[in-house]
Amino acid sequence: MKVLSFPRRGSILVWTLAIQLVLCRSVVLATNGTKGCKLLSESPSERNFLNRLEPLSNKNISVDTMVDEESYTYVFQLCGDAGGVPGAGLIQIDKKTPPITTVIGRYESTKVIAGSDWVMLIYSDGDSYDTHCSKEKRKSIVMISCSRSTDMGKLEVVMEDRDRDRECFYLFELDAMAVCPIIPSKLSAGSVLLIMYVKITYNGTKALNVRPHMTQQANSDDLLFSSSGFCLLAVYLIGGFLYQRLIVGAKGLEQFPNYAFWVEVGNLTADGCDFVCRSRSREKAPEYRGVSTDALEEEPEERDDHLLPM
């Protein structure tokens, strides 16, 4: 029985390794979604702009529209085959019988322009026009704007500008959170440490007041977290004190780490409590004061006859 069990365990190990390799490969392919785009002019900045759109990769985004009683479906994919059409980043499907698929932009001819909260993706080298735009190849522009309310919004068709001789284009809009700038945290180091201290104190109190029915594992976890927190606090105080004294050369109370912040903690707390708890402004409303009647009396006329030459 033992001899027969070895191959079974070996086969299970082989299958486990094979599944892990497949999963790792799928993860790598998912994270390299923007690598399929070939930039017309490769540059690190433009590639970084494109990498900001990584969360939108490997997704077909479609929209239906009506133009002059004709129904069309547009399908967009970031650096991938839109609608399964090889090399097509954006396609137009004319809902006739049978449907006609037109490539209006290829991800192998990509250009990216970006700002602080928007990215403009340009696909060119699409199928040629039949009669418009001097029969040049189609080009599509997707304007992706910041929207913190949704991961990815709906694709919207803005216009097709083909009433010109050259440089015709399709224009689309898309809202996405991926292009939004990162909001820096407004919490200072002292605020973070204060929050940590409150959390550590709470866990320490919780660990000391152990109830009989609580498990020993939970108690040990709380005690471990509390002891780690107190160690971090001690490192902060001792390390900060030594830095202020030996490196900065501070004396007296200024040797305390982040002394300027901790001095203002009381004032900031009082201001916050005053702002939250008071129901009306402390500013005194301007009072109406009438104009004195003395100011309205006519001033005696000053004569300057004596200044005239005789």
* 276-290 pLDDT per residue, tens: 676 655 555 555 555
Between CA 5 and CA 214 the distance in angstroms is 42
> Where exactly are the structural domains of the chain?
34-179, 189-269
Taking the mean position of all CA atoms in its chain, how far away is CA 21?
A: 32
Q: In this structure, what DSSP letter does residue 61 have? A: E
Flag whether pLDDT at 106 surpasses 70: yes
CATH (residue range 34-179): 2.70.130.10
How is the beta sheet containing 118-124 ordered, strand by strand?
A: 61-67, 70-76, 88-94, 100-114, 118-124, 140-146, 169-176, 156-161
Flag whether pLDDT at 218 surpasses 80: no
Between CA 57 and CA 31 the distance in angstroms is 9
Tell me if 27 sits within 8 A of 58, measured CB to CB: no
Give the mean model confidence (pLDDT) for residues 71-87: 95
Between CA 229 and CA 221 the distance in angstroms is 12
Instruction: Round the average pLDDT of the chain to a whole number and report it.
Output: 77
Q: What confidence tens digit (pLDDT) does each residue in 19-78 have? A: 554 444 444 444 458 999 999 999 999 999 999 999 999 899 999 998 888 899 999 999
**Identity of the residue numbered 270:** A
